[in-house]
């Protein structure tokens, strides 16, 4: 009887031990097949990847560069040109490393100009006392293009590229 009681007690302990142990959950998507491999749609957190304000909503603080190299009438002009947008109505225009017909001009020209920017149309109007220039913004190429094809002599469009946001 002692042997039967011992086996009976051992069987009860083993049964209780097995019942007390829970199967360990494997991580979702594990190769052995534990758990669901695709989480339910309502458990995936929504991630908003659109910026609150696209960089081109305001040009303030942006810097643009143009490697200008064209014939202007009988004059071959090569220079580095920069735009820096100071505030919502003023930009700084800098010309440096200027060569005229191959002669280096050891001068940097800096001037401030007024502008109006229309982000919905992606158009910038450069406003001066003598002329209003229209620049077209390309948000993919991150460029500002000044189409001056209406000049009295043939000149290619002048393209500035964004170098600092």
CB 118 within 8 Å of CB 91: no
Poorest-pLDDT segment among 57-61, 69-73, 110-114, 154-158: 154-158
Tokens representing 115 are 């502008």
- Say whether pLDDT at 149 is over 80: no
Local structure of residue 47 (DSSP, 8 states): -
Average pLDDT over the chain reads 79
Query: pTM for the whole thing?
Result: 0.65
Q: What angle do CA 154, 160, 162 make, to 5 degrees?
A: 170
Phi, psi torsion values for 19, nearest 5 degrees: -65, -35
Least confident of 38-52, 72-86, 119-133: 38-52
In the chain, domain spans:
55-164
The residues, ordered by sequence, that sit 6+ positions from 36 with a Cβ below 8 Å of its Cβ are 28, 29
C-beta of residue 127 within 8 angstroms of C-beta of residue 137: no
Query: Does residue 7 surpass a pLDDT of 50?
Result: no
Q: What CATH class has 55-164?
A: mainly beta
Q: How many residues comprise the chain?
A: 165
Cβ–Cβ < 8 Å for 66, 77: no
DSSP string for residues in 15-26: HHHHHHPPPPPP
If you average pLDDT over each of 4-18, 27-41, 88-102, which comes out highest?
A: 88-102
- Measured CA to CA, the distance from residue 88 to residue 138 in angstroms comes to 19
- The residue ranking higher by pLDDT, 93 or 153, is 93
- Contact of 138 with 147, CB cutoff 8 Å: no
């Amino acid at each position: 009887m002692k042997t039967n009681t011992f086996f009976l007690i051992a069987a009860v302990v083993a049964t209780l031990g097995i019942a007390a142990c829970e199967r360990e959950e494997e991580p979702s998507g594990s190769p052995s097949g534990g758990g669901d491999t695709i989480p339910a749609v309502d458990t995936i957190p929504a991630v908003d990847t659109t910026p609150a304000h696209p960089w081109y909503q305001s040009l303030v603080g942006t810097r643009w560069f143009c490697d200008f190299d064209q014939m202007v009438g009988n004059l071959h002009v090569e220079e580095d040109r920069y735009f820096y947008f100071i505030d919502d109505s003023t930009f700084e225009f800098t010309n440096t490393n200027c060569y005229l017909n191959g002669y280096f001009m050891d001068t940097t020209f800096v001037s401030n100009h007024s502008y109006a920017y229309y982000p919905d149309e992606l158009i910038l109007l450069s406003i001066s006392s003598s002329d209003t220039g229209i620049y077209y913004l390309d948000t993919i190429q991150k460029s500002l293009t000044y189409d001056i094809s209406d000049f009295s002599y043939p000149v290619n469009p002048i393209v500035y590229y964004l170098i600092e946001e």
